[in-house]
Amino acid sequence: MDANTQLKLAERGAWISIFTYVILAVLKLYIGKMGHSEGLTADGLNNTTDVISSIAILIGLKISQKPPDEDHTYGHYRAESIASLIAAFIMMTIGLQVLIDGIQSIFREQAVTPDWLTAWVALFCAIIMYAVSLYNFRLSKKINSSSIKAVAYDNRSDALVSIGAFIGIAGTYIGIGFLDVLAAIIVGVIICKTAWQIFRDSSHALTDGFDTKLLYRMEETIIHTAGVKKVITVKARLQGNQILVDATICVDPHLNVIESHEITEKIEEQLKDKHHVSGSLIHIEPYQYVK
């Protein structure tokens, strides 16, 4: 599967997320107002901000598909990581707001008991959002997309917010009002933790951080390629969902140019097949001159 096909599939995941958020936000805001539920109304407002987050991801995916140009010779794939970073900031804002609202509700009594319909709507929306998150998690693994993984985490966080709203509404009916506060605080902490995880992964990729275990496996693949006498260095970095590798190897100094080139081609094929590497730059050194 080429890079553009992967990005097209990623766009599908973003569009599904946006469409679902719009529908659920309208439903929550309407039923929340009609059923006198502050929790469900707040959840609906939360979904409207999630639309902005998903649109940011979609724009990042669109930019990532632009071909290389004069001042972006490696392409624009890192726009996807930047979009994930934006999504992390939006999620952190939402998580902190949920925490603040939960703490404030300790000192605020609800004047009107919400209708039971609002509780069932919250639970229904939680199930829908969780299903969307599962779809996007599977899609992110299939196409190795950090931005769609961020969308999936956002979807799951919103499912948890809706569950928190359901617990809070149910608590008012069974006489356990503190359930609303407890659920809001727990959900807020989970959202903030998820946002931090997305921020950490995105910033790690943008600063050319790379999985050391995967790098070691790549080195093992190279050293076991026929004709390779020694591996001097192996470096790798991420460009969005693309893995780029730079390696310096040693070969028999008596090989001609064509024979040496054939070894590099074998390495590139192995890295692509075993580790899904998109681009490799293999530098050759004569073995006998290396200490």
The structural domains of the chain, with segments of one domain joined by +, span: 3-206, 212-289
What pLDDT is attached to residue 1? Answer: 59
- Residue 285, H or E segment: strand 279-286
Q: Give the count of beta carbons closer than 10 Å to the beta carbon of residue 250.
A: 17
What are the beta bridge partners of residue 134?
none
Second-level CATH architecture of 3-206? Up-down Bundle (1.20)
Coil, strand, or helix at residue 108?
coil
* Amino acid type, 215: L
Give the separation between CA 264 and CA 225, rounded to whole angstroms.
Answer: 9
Which tokens hold the place of 58? 């979609």
- Listed in sequence order, the DSSP H helices in 105-240 are 116-143, 146-174, 178-206, 212-223
Report pLDDT for 290.
Answer: 46
pLDDT of residue 222: 95
- Residue-level pLDDT at 79: 85
- Asked if 218 and 246 touch (Cβ cutoff 8 Å), the reply is no
Looking at residue 61, its pLDDT comes to 84
User: Closest Cα to residue 185, out of 114, 263, 256, 105?
Assistant: 105
At residue 225, the pLDDT reads 93
> Strands 230-239 and 242-251, how do they pair?
antiparallel
Per-residue pLDDT, averaged over 8-33, amounts to 90
C-alpha distance from residue 52 to each of 33, 161, 195, 225 (Å): 23, 17, 15, 48
pLDDT at 265 > cutoff 70: yes
Q: Which is higher by pLDDT, 269 or 174?
A: 269
What is the value of pTM for the model shown? 0.73
If you average pLDDT over residues 53-69, what whole number do you get?
Answer: 84
The predicted structure's pLDDT at residue 111: 53
Q: Give the mean pLDDT of the chain.
A: 86
- Would 3-206 and 212-289 be classified into the same CATH topology? no
Long-range Cβ pairs for the range 130-138 (8 Å, 24+): 130/155, 130/156, 130/159, 132/16, 132/17, 132/20, 133/159, 135/13, 135/16, 136/13, 136/16, 136/17
pLDDT over 80 at 105, yes or no: no
Average pLDDT rounded to a whole number, residues 19-45? 86
Residue with tokens 């890079």: 3
pLDDT tens, 125-163?
999 999 999 999 999 888 888 788 888 988 998 898 888
pLDDT (tens digit per residue) in 90-102 = 888 888 887 887 7
Least confident among 56-70, 176-190, 269-283: 176-190
- Main-chain dihedrals φ then ψ at residue 113, nearest 5 degrees: -70, 125
**Would you tell me which CATH number, out of the four given (3.20.20.70, 3.30.70.1350, 3.40.50.1100, 3.40.50.300), belongs to the domain 212-289?**
3.30.70.1350
Q: Do residues 234 and 220 touch, judged by C-beta distance below 8 A?
A: no
Three-class SS string for 141-155?
HHHCCHHHHHHHHHH
**Residue found under tokens 């050194």:** 285
pLDDT of residue 110: 56
